[in-house]
Structure 1
Amino acid sequence: MVDELVLLLHALLVRHQALSIENSRLMDQLRLLVCERATLLRQVRPPSCPVPFPQTFSGESGRLPEFIVQTTSYMLVNENRFCNDAMKVAFLISLLSGEAEEWVVPLIEMDSPILVNYRAFVDEMKDYFGWDDDEEDEDDEEEDYY
Protein backbone atom coordinates (compact mmCIF):
# COMPACT_ATOMS: atom_id res chain seq x y z
CA MET A 1 0.00 0.00 0.00
CA VAL A 2 2.84 2.38 0.87
CA ASP A 3 4.57 1.55 -2.40
CA GLU A 4 1.39 2.34 -4.29
CA LEU A 5 1.10 5.72 -2.52
CA VAL A 6 4.75 6.50 -3.25
CA LEU A 7 4.21 5.65 -6.93
CA LEU A 8 1.04 7.75 -7.01
CA LEU A 9 2.81 10.68 -5.33
CA HIS A 10 5.70 10.37 -7.77
CA ALA A 11 3.29 10.33 -10.73
CA LEU A 12 1.55 13.43 -9.35
CA LEU A 13 4.86 15.25 -8.92
CA VAL A 14 5.93 14.38 -12.47
CA ARG A 15 2.54 15.55 -13.80
CA HIS A 16 2.79 18.75 -11.72
CA GLN A 17 6.25 19.48 -13.11
CA ALA A 18 5.05 18.92 -16.69
CA LEU A 19 2.04 21.21 -16.13
CA SER A 20 4.27 23.88 -14.55
CA ILE A 21 6.57 23.82 -17.60
CA GLU A 22 3.56 24.00 -19.94
CA ASN A 23 2.07 26.87 -17.91
CA SER A 24 5.35 28.79 -18.06
CA ARG A 25 5.53 28.30 -21.82
CA LEU A 26 1.93 29.49 -22.24
CA MET A 27 2.61 32.57 -20.08
CA ASP A 28 5.59 33.44 -22.31
CA GLN A 29 3.37 33.14 -25.39
CA LEU A 30 0.70 35.28 -23.74
CA ARG A 31 3.24 38.01 -22.98
CA LEU A 32 4.35 38.00 -26.62
CA LEU A 33 0.75 38.20 -27.84
CA VAL A 34 -0.04 41.09 -25.51
CA CYS A 35 3.00 42.99 -26.80
CA GLU A 36 2.03 42.29 -30.42
CA ARG A 37 -1.55 43.42 -29.73
CA ALA A 38 -0.30 46.68 -28.19
CA THR A 39 1.90 47.29 -31.22
CA LEU A 40 -0.98 46.63 -33.63
CA LEU A 41 -3.35 48.88 -31.68
CA ARG A 42 -0.84 51.73 -31.83
CA GLN A 43 -0.74 51.32 -35.60
CA VAL A 44 -4.52 51.10 -35.99
CA ARG A 45 -5.65 53.75 -33.51
CA PRO A 46 -5.22 57.23 -34.84
CA PRO A 47 -3.40 59.67 -32.62
CA SER A 48 -5.59 61.95 -30.57
CA CYS A 49 -7.31 64.48 -32.79
CA PRO A 50 -7.70 68.16 -31.92
CA VAL A 51 -11.09 68.14 -33.67
CA PRO A 52 -13.77 66.07 -31.92
CA PHE A 53 -15.45 63.21 -33.76
CA PRO A 54 -18.61 64.54 -35.47
CA GLN A 55 -22.05 63.86 -34.07
CA THR A 56 -24.56 61.86 -36.09
CA PHE A 57 -27.05 63.63 -38.33
CA SER A 58 -30.62 62.41 -38.35
CA GLY A 59 -32.12 64.87 -40.81
CA GLU A 60 -32.86 68.06 -38.85
CA SER A 61 -32.31 70.78 -41.46
CA GLY A 62 -31.23 73.26 -38.78
CA ARG A 63 -28.34 70.95 -37.83
CA LEU A 64 -27.10 70.34 -41.36
CA PRO A 65 -24.68 73.31 -41.47
CA GLU A 66 -23.19 72.24 -38.13
CA PHE A 67 -22.89 68.65 -39.35
CA ILE A 68 -21.12 69.70 -42.55
CA VAL A 69 -18.72 71.94 -40.63
CA GLN A 70 -17.97 69.19 -38.09
CA THR A 71 -17.36 66.52 -40.72
CA THR A 72 -15.34 68.82 -42.99
CA SER A 73 -13.13 69.92 -40.09
CA TYR A 74 -12.61 66.33 -38.97
CA MET A 75 -11.72 65.20 -42.49
CA LEU A 76 -9.30 68.11 -42.99
CA VAL A 77 -7.41 67.26 -39.81
CA ASN A 78 -7.35 63.58 -40.81
CA GLU A 79 -6.81 64.11 -44.54
CA ASN A 80 -4.58 61.03 -44.88
CA ARG A 81 -7.60 58.86 -43.98
CA PHE A 82 -9.94 60.66 -46.40
CA CYS A 83 -7.86 60.58 -49.56
CA ASN A 84 -10.70 60.62 -52.09
CA ASP A 85 -14.33 61.62 -52.50
CA ALA A 86 -15.64 58.07 -52.05
CA MET A 87 -13.99 57.86 -48.61
CA LYS A 88 -15.43 61.25 -47.63
CA VAL A 89 -18.94 60.29 -48.73
CA ALA A 90 -18.66 56.93 -46.95
CA PHE A 91 -17.66 58.78 -43.79
CA LEU A 92 -20.68 61.07 -44.03
CA ILE A 93 -22.97 58.10 -44.65
CA SER A 94 -21.59 56.33 -41.58
CA LEU A 95 -22.77 59.28 -39.47
CA LEU A 96 -26.34 59.35 -40.78
CA SER A 97 -29.29 58.07 -38.78
CA GLY A 98 -33.09 58.38 -38.80
CA GLU A 99 -34.54 60.30 -41.74
CA ALA A 100 -31.08 61.05 -43.14
CA GLU A 101 -30.24 57.35 -43.20
CA GLU A 102 -33.57 56.60 -44.90
CA TRP A 103 -32.74 59.30 -47.48
CA VAL A 104 -29.39 57.75 -48.40
CA VAL A 105 -30.49 54.09 -48.66
CA PRO A 106 -32.04 54.46 -52.16
CA LEU A 107 -28.89 56.21 -53.37
CA ILE A 108 -26.83 53.26 -52.18
CA GLU A 109 -29.25 50.72 -53.66
CA MET A 110 -29.11 52.35 -57.10
CA ASP A 111 -25.35 52.92 -56.83
CA SER A 112 -25.77 56.62 -57.49
CA PRO A 113 -22.77 58.43 -58.99
CA ILE A 114 -22.94 61.03 -56.21
CA LEU A 115 -21.62 58.36 -53.83
CA VAL A 116 -18.17 58.98 -55.29
CA ASN A 117 -18.52 62.76 -55.63
CA TYR A 118 -18.28 64.54 -52.28
CA ARG A 119 -19.39 67.98 -53.54
CA ALA A 120 -22.42 66.49 -55.35
CA PHE A 121 -23.34 64.44 -52.28
CA VAL A 122 -23.21 67.47 -49.97
CA ASP A 123 -25.19 69.53 -52.50
CA GLU A 124 -27.83 66.79 -52.64
CA MET A 125 -28.02 66.75 -48.83
CA LYS A 126 -28.44 70.53 -48.83
CA ASP A 127 -31.24 70.33 -51.41
CA TYR A 128 -33.06 67.52 -49.63
CA PHE A 129 -32.75 68.79 -46.06
CA GLY A 130 -33.39 72.43 -46.91
CA TRP A 131 -30.11 74.27 -46.45
CA ASP A 132 -30.69 77.55 -48.26
CA ASP A 133 -27.55 78.68 -50.12
CA ASP A 134 -29.10 81.91 -51.46
CA GLU A 135 -27.05 84.17 -49.16
CA GLU A 136 -23.86 82.28 -50.02
CA ASP A 137 -24.66 82.50 -53.75
CA GLU A 138 -25.27 86.26 -53.47
CA ASP A 139 -21.88 86.68 -51.75
CA ASP A 140 -20.22 84.67 -54.53
CA GLU A 141 -21.92 86.81 -57.18
CA GLU A 142 -20.75 90.00 -55.46
CA GLU A 143 -17.18 88.67 -55.34
CA ASP A 144 -17.38 87.71 -59.02
CA TYR A 145 -18.68 91.18 -59.84
CA TYR A 146 -15.75 92.97 -58.23
Structure 2
Amino acid sequence: MVEQLLILLYALLVRHRALCIQNNQLLKQLRILVCERARLLRQVRLPSCPVPYPSRFSGESGRLPEFVVQTMSYMLVNEEHFCNDAMKVAFLISLLSGEAEEWVMPYIESNSYILGDYRAFVNEMKQYFGWDTDDEDDDDDDEEDDY
Protein backbone atom coordinates (compact mmCIF):
# COMPACT_ATOMS: atom_id res chain seq x y z
CA MET A 1 0.00 0.00 0.00
CA VAL A 2 2.73 2.50 0.97
CA GLU A 3 4.73 1.51 -2.09
CA GLN A 4 1.74 2.20 -4.34
CA LEU A 5 1.24 5.61 -2.72
CA LEU A 6 4.91 6.43 -3.27
CA ILE A 7 4.63 5.44 -6.92
CA LEU A 8 1.51 7.58 -7.29
CA LEU A 9 3.17 10.50 -5.54
CA TYR A 10 6.21 10.21 -7.80
CA ALA A 11 3.98 10.11 -10.89
CA LEU A 12 2.17 13.22 -9.68
CA LEU A 13 5.46 15.03 -9.09
CA VAL A 14 6.68 14.11 -12.56
CA ARG A 15 3.40 15.34 -14.08
CA HIS A 16 3.57 18.55 -12.04
CA ARG A 17 7.10 19.22 -13.27
CA ALA A 18 6.04 18.62 -16.87
CA LEU A 19 3.10 21.00 -16.48
CA CYS A 20 5.35 23.67 -14.94
CA ILE A 21 7.71 23.42 -17.91
CA GLN A 22 4.80 23.59 -20.33
CA ASN A 23 3.33 26.59 -18.47
CA ASN A 24 6.66 28.46 -18.69
CA GLN A 25 6.83 27.74 -22.42
CA LEU A 26 3.28 29.04 -22.89
CA LEU A 27 4.11 32.21 -20.93
CA LYS A 28 7.12 32.82 -23.16
CA GLN A 29 4.91 32.36 -26.23
CA LEU A 30 2.33 34.74 -24.76
CA ARG A 31 4.99 37.41 -24.25
CA ILE A 32 6.15 36.97 -27.85
CA LEU A 33 2.56 37.24 -29.11
CA VAL A 34 1.90 40.36 -27.02
CA CYS A 35 5.02 42.00 -28.44
CA GLU A 36 4.01 41.01 -31.98
CA ARG A 37 0.51 42.38 -31.41
CA ALA A 38 2.00 45.62 -30.14
CA ARG A 39 4.24 45.84 -33.21
CA LEU A 40 1.24 45.35 -35.49
CA LEU A 41 -0.83 47.93 -33.61
CA ARG A 42 1.95 50.49 -34.03
CA GLN A 43 1.40 50.15 -37.79
CA VAL A 44 -2.15 51.53 -37.45
CA ARG A 45 -0.80 55.04 -37.93
CA LEU A 46 -2.69 57.17 -40.41
CA PRO A 47 -0.40 59.23 -42.67
CA SER A 48 -2.60 62.33 -42.68
CA CYS A 49 -3.31 62.38 -38.96
CA PRO A 50 -3.24 65.92 -37.52
CA VAL A 51 -2.22 64.55 -34.10
CA PRO A 52 1.29 63.08 -33.85
CA TYR A 53 1.66 59.41 -33.02
CA PRO A 54 2.14 59.07 -29.23
CA SER A 55 5.56 58.45 -27.73
CA ARG A 56 6.31 55.20 -25.94
CA PHE A 57 5.91 55.10 -22.17
CA SER A 58 8.48 53.20 -20.12
CA GLY A 59 7.20 53.99 -16.64
CA GLU A 60 8.46 57.47 -15.74
CA SER A 61 5.71 58.82 -13.47
CA GLY A 62 6.39 62.40 -14.57
CA ARG A 63 5.60 61.45 -18.17
CA LEU A 64 2.35 59.61 -17.45
CA PRO A 65 0.04 62.66 -17.79
CA GLU A 66 1.66 63.55 -21.12
CA PHE A 67 1.36 59.94 -22.30
CA VAL A 68 -2.33 59.73 -21.37
CA VAL A 69 -3.11 63.04 -23.10
CA GLN A 70 -1.15 62.04 -26.22
CA THR A 71 -2.87 58.68 -26.52
CA MET A 72 -6.31 60.10 -25.74
CA SER A 73 -5.87 62.81 -28.38
CA TYR A 74 -4.66 60.32 -30.97
CA MET A 75 -7.54 57.94 -30.28
CA LEU A 76 -10.07 60.79 -30.38
CA VAL A 77 -8.89 61.92 -33.81
CA ASN A 78 -8.86 58.31 -35.04
CA GLU A 79 -11.96 57.14 -33.21
CA GLU A 80 -13.01 54.81 -36.04
CA HIS A 81 -10.00 52.63 -35.16
CA PHE A 82 -10.68 52.69 -31.43
CA CYS A 83 -14.33 51.74 -31.29
CA ASN A 84 -14.26 50.02 -27.88
CA ASP A 85 -12.34 49.97 -24.62
CA ALA A 86 -10.44 46.78 -25.50
CA MET A 87 -8.98 48.45 -28.62
CA LYS A 88 -8.04 51.54 -26.60
CA VAL A 89 -6.30 49.46 -23.92
CA ALA A 90 -4.54 47.36 -26.58
CA PHE A 91 -3.28 50.58 -28.16
CA LEU A 92 -1.93 51.84 -24.83
CA ILE A 93 -0.26 48.48 -24.20
CA SER A 94 1.36 48.63 -27.64
CA LEU A 95 3.13 51.82 -26.54
CA LEU A 96 4.49 50.46 -23.25
CA SER A 97 8.11 49.50 -22.77
CA GLY A 98 10.52 48.81 -19.93
CA GLU A 99 9.00 48.94 -16.45
CA ALA A 100 5.56 49.82 -17.85
CA GLU A 101 5.59 46.74 -20.07
CA GLU A 102 6.64 44.58 -17.12
CA TRP A 103 3.84 46.15 -15.06
CA VAL A 104 1.16 45.17 -17.58
CA MET A 105 2.27 41.54 -18.09
CA PRO A 106 0.46 40.12 -15.01
CA TYR A 107 -2.77 41.71 -16.24
CA ILE A 108 -2.30 40.09 -19.63
CA GLU A 109 -1.32 36.73 -18.16
CA SER A 110 -4.38 36.68 -15.90
CA ASN A 111 -6.66 38.08 -18.63
CA SER A 112 -7.73 40.82 -16.20
CA TYR A 113 -11.02 42.64 -16.70
CA ILE A 114 -9.13 45.96 -16.98
CA LEU A 115 -7.90 44.91 -20.43
CA GLY A 116 -11.44 45.63 -21.61
CA ASP A 117 -12.05 48.72 -19.47
CA TYR A 118 -10.12 51.78 -20.62
CA ARG A 119 -10.91 53.93 -17.59
CA ALA A 120 -9.98 51.17 -15.13
CA PHE A 121 -6.74 50.54 -17.03
CA VAL A 122 -5.74 54.22 -16.95
CA ASN A 123 -6.67 54.44 -13.26
CA GLU A 124 -4.45 51.41 -12.52
CA MET A 125 -1.61 53.10 -14.40
CA LYS A 126 -2.14 56.30 -12.44
CA GLN A 127 -2.12 54.45 -9.16
CA TYR A 128 0.95 52.34 -9.95
CA PHE A 129 3.07 55.04 -11.57
CA GLY A 130 2.18 57.71 -9.04
CA TRP A 131 -0.01 60.21 -10.83
CA ASP A 132 -1.50 62.06 -7.89
CA THR A 133 -4.93 63.48 -8.60
CA ASP A 134 -6.31 66.36 -6.61
CA ASP A 135 -9.51 68.37 -6.76
CA GLU A 136 -8.41 70.22 -9.91
CA ASP A 137 -7.96 66.93 -11.74
CA ASP A 138 -11.49 65.85 -10.85
CA ASP A 139 -12.80 68.35 -13.40
CA ASP A 140 -10.47 66.83 -16.02
CA ASP A 141 -11.68 63.34 -15.14
CA ASP A 142 -15.18 64.29 -16.27
CA GLU A 143 -13.81 64.98 -19.73
CA GLU A 144 -11.77 61.76 -19.58
CA ASP A 145 -14.91 59.77 -18.78
CA ASP A 146 -16.13 60.35 -22.30
CA TYR A 147 -13.01 58.80 -23.70
Category of TM-score, reference length = shorter chain: 0.5 to 0.7
Alignment RMSD (CA, Å): 1.8
| Relative contact order higher in (CA < 8 Å, ≥ 6 apart) | 2
TM-score of the pair, normalised by structure 1: 0.62
Instruction: Give CA deviations for 1:79-105 in whole Å, capped at 9, x if unaligned.
Output: 000000000000000000000000000
Between the aligned residues of both structures, percent identity stands at 79
Matches within 5 A, 1:75-86: 75-86=75-86
Structure 2 Cα separation of the partners of residues 94 and 100 of structure 1: 11
Gaps of at least 5 residues in structure 1 are 1-43, 141-146
Whether the aligned pair in 1 keeps the contact of 2:86 and 2:118 (CA below 8 Å) is: yes
Residues matched between the structures, number = 97
Structure 1 Cα separation of the partners of residues 103 and 45 of structure 2: 31
Matches within 5 A, 1:21-100: 46-100=46-100
After superposing on structure 2, the runs of 4+ consecutive aligned residues of structure 1 that deviate more than 6 Å are none
Rg larger in 1 or in 2? Answer: 1
The Cα of 1:134 is off from its aligned counterpart by 1.8
Secondary structure (helix, strand or coil) at the match of 1:80 reads helix
Q: Which residue number corresponds to residue 113 of structure 1?
A: 113
The Cα of 1:46 is off from its aligned counterpart by 3.1
Gaps of at least 5 residues in structure 2 are 1-43, 141-147
Structure 2 Cα separation of the partners of residues 98 and 45 of structure 1: 22
TM-score of the pair, normalised by structure 2: 0.62
Change in 2 beyond 3 A, CA 1:45/1:74: closer
